[in-house]
Structure 1
Amino acid sequence: MKKLLPFGTALLLLSFFTDASDGLVRYESQYSVEETADRFESIAKTKGLTVFARIDHQMNAQSIDLPLRPTEVILFGNPKVGTPLMQCTQEVAIDLPQKVLVSQDEDNIVWLAYNNPNYLVSRHDITGCDDVVKKISGVLQALAKATVEK
């Protein structure tokens, strides 16, 4: 007998995660772009990750009088995780350090998105690194969920 999730639980799960077929994993956030990015940065640092940069694309666009919805990118990582991946396939370094995108769409919904590690495996034909990719996937998922949950 199959068990079905209660409707509210199913909706909550769907709001966190959407199709990653385009290489991105997305989580809906109930917070503003700035607060979501602040939360992510804080959580990443408490987990021992280095935050290398935080880019506010909206602010950069405004500096040249162009409109852009709130959009921030955070570059972060840890050489203990990234180096083993580069040892498998050095060209994956073009996609490191890891990045998260926090943006507001045309419906004013805030999203946190990151590259699906399995997409990077396909993109760079990475072999023999299943454990590393699994670890990276777990870390990214845990960071994203902790960031967007109330």
Structure 2
Amino acid sequence: MNQPTLSGIPPSAEGVITRRSPFAVLETIDRLQKAMESHHLTIFAHIDHSEGARRVGLEMQEAHVLLFGNPRSGTPLMVASPLLALDLPLKVLIWQQDKHVWVSSIDPTYLQKRYALSPELIGNIAGSETLIEQTLAAHEP
């Protein structure tokens, strides 16, 4: 379902945090990748949904997903709740709608509630939100 933005407010969904990026799509991706690598996070995949659409003759807004994480952080979570493997590795969506660039991710507290995880365990991945916030606020890569 296509939900248009109203006055620059992005569509929302339960458990999703969406922030506006002050940077273009590709610069946002580059900054996030560099920040993840500097924090010893593995980028498992970069999915370019918009390129996939172009390859089959369709058009869509720019939409990229980075799958990232650290096995030392994620493994204890999946041991405690094996179904959490459906939501790990973590993902961040960088997308454009109209003239705005957005960065969306799953709120770790949503995952904590969904899988009944302890605060200590969810702490293993809670820092991802701070990393995203700091990257979008940074003026230098």
> Would you call these one fold, judging by a TM-score over 0.5?
yes
Q: How far 1:134 sits from its partner (Å)?
A: 2.9
Match of 1:145 in 2: 133
Q: How far 1:113 sits from its partner (Å)?
A: 1.0
Deviations 1:14-33 (A, max 9, x none): x9xx9976111112101111
Match of 2:32 in 1: 40
User: Residues of 2 paired with 1:143 and 1:19: CA distance?
Assistant: 22
Equivalent pairs, count: 130
SS across alignment from 2:37: helix
SS across alignment from 1:53: strand
Percent identity, please: 35
- Mark the structure with the bigger radius of gyration: 1
Q: How far 1:42 sits from its partner (Å)?
A: 0.9
User: Residues of 2 paired with 1:21 and 1:98: CA distance?
Assistant: 17
1:121 aligns with 2:109: no
State the one-letter code of the partner of 2:85. A
Which structure 2 segments of 5+ residues have no match?
1-7
Match of 2:120 in 1: 131
Which structure 1 segments of 5+ residues have no match?
1-14
Match of 1:55 in 2: 47
SS across alignment from 2:53: helix
User: Residues of 1 paired with 2:84 and 2:129: CA distance?
Assistant: 20
Q: TM-score, normalised by structure 1?
A: 0.79
SS across alignment from 2:74: helix
Q: How far 1:117 sits from its partner (Å)?
A: 1.3
User: Residues of 1 paired with 2:12 and 2:121: CA distance?
Assistant: 19
1:24 aligns with 2:45: no
User: Residues of 1 paired with 2:91 and 2:13: CA distance?
Assistant: 18
Residues 20 and 116 of structure 1 are in contact (CA less than 8 Å); yes or no, is this contact kept in structure 2? no
Deviations 1:98-122 (A, max 9, x none): 10000012x3211111111121223
